[in-house]
Amino acid sequence: MSVTPSRFSGLFEMHGKKLLFLTKNLIAGTQFGEQLISAQGTEYRVIDPTRSKLGAALMKGISQLGVKPGDVALYLGASYGYTPSFVSDLLGETGFVFCIDSAPRSTRDLVFLCEQRSNMAPVLADAFHPEAYASRVSGADFVYQDIAQRNQAEIFLKNCDLFLKPGGFAVLVVKARSIDVTKKPGVIFQQVRRQLGEHIAVVDYRVLDPFEKDHCLLVCKKKI
Ligand SMILES: C[S@@+](CC[C@H](N)C(=O)[O-])C[C@H]1O[C@@H](n2cnc3c(N)ncnc32)[C@H](O)[C@@H]1O
């Protein structure tokens, strides 16, 4: 079995019993509890779709993400860095990812990861107040948000407004139950889709079940 480039720049795939998505390990020999695979003299990291909503969206056949090697990315809700570490691999040495999280505990773990990976920087901040970190974050080619808050769509739009470059892509992970537990997830997903559509073009959308229950992921593109 061989590792081959996927249709997404910077992402690879392997077809065996199961389809796997992988990134080239930016710091060979380091690992985050994920499976490592060596092929053709290169070390790859396997994205677990049950731990990463990005991985889940890939398994659900997302058609585009809009992120590529060399991009500057803004990651909102970085936690201790599992999915951000794959974004860091994908961006490569010429790219950079600013990782925002409001929890001191996870940001502490994130700091250790960023010490290993020179294309990542941790920022302890509330993403609802992007003006507080505007002086530390540059314009972004790509925004990724995974924040389980009632106002997650508003947080996303504020950050895209402030940091996303025209023509740039942005991904929003929606956790329906954080918005309204009384409504069916499908109703919430359509509501968020309409809300985003008033400001930014929604270019793809995937429900993440069975990998992540009651979650969906939307890919957006900012108008030029
Ligand atoms: C589901 S976890 C993210 C997991 C991560 N995206 C991954 O795949 O590895 C959500 C994170 O959002 C953070 N968060 C929640 N509200 C936030 C806010 N207003 N600003 C920044 N981070 C926030 C939480 O501290 C938590 O670490």
**CATH code 3.30.200 region(s) in the chain:** 3-48
pLDDT, tens only, 180-205: 999 999 999 999 999 999 999 999 99
Closest ligand 1 atom to the C-alpha of 84? 9
CATH 3.40.50.300 for domain 57-221, yes or no, is: no
Contact in structure between 123 and 97 (CB atoms under 8 Å): no
E runs forming strands in 130-222: 140-146, 164-175, 201-207, 215-221
Would you state the structure tokens that stand for residue 191, as one six-digit string?
């509501």
Task: Say how many Å lie between the CA of residue 106 and the centre of ligand 1.
Answer: 9
Contact between 152 and 179 (Cβ < 8 Å): yes
pLDDT at 161: 97
Q: How far apart are CA 76 and CA 158, in angstroms?
A: 12
Q: What pLDDT is attached to residue 104? A: 97
Give per-residue pLDDT as tens, 50-102: 999 999 999 999 999 999 999 999 999 999 999 999 999 999 999 999 999 99
Confidence of residue 138 (pLDDT cuts 50, 70, 90): confident
Q: Is 127 in the pocket of ligand 1 (CB under 6 A)?
A: yes
Asked if residue 146 lies in contact with residue 103, where contact means CB atoms within 8 angstroms, the answer is no
Interval 135-152 mean pLDDT: 96
Assign 224 a pLDDT band (cuts: 50, 70, 90).
confident
DSSP state of 125: -
pLDDT tier at 32 (50, 70, 90 boundaries)? confident
The reply to whether ligand 1 has any atom less than 6 angstroms from the CB of 23 is no
CB of 83 sitting under 6 A from ligand 1: yes
Atom of ligand 1 nearest to the CA of 126: 20
pLDDT value, residue 174: 98
Strands (DSSP E) found in 28-86 = 36-39, 42-46, 72-76
Q: How far is the CA of 77 from the centre of ligand 1 (A)?
A: 3
Start-end ranges of CATH 3.40.50.150 in the chain? 57-221
Decide if pLDDT at 1 tops 80. no
Asked whether residue 124 carries a pLDDT value surpassing 80, the answer given is: yes
Atom 15 (ligand 1) nearest CA: 147
- Best probe residue, ligand 1, of 51, 80, 147 (max atoms within 8 Å of C-beta): 147
Architecture of the domain defined by 3-48: 2-Layer Sandwich (3.30)
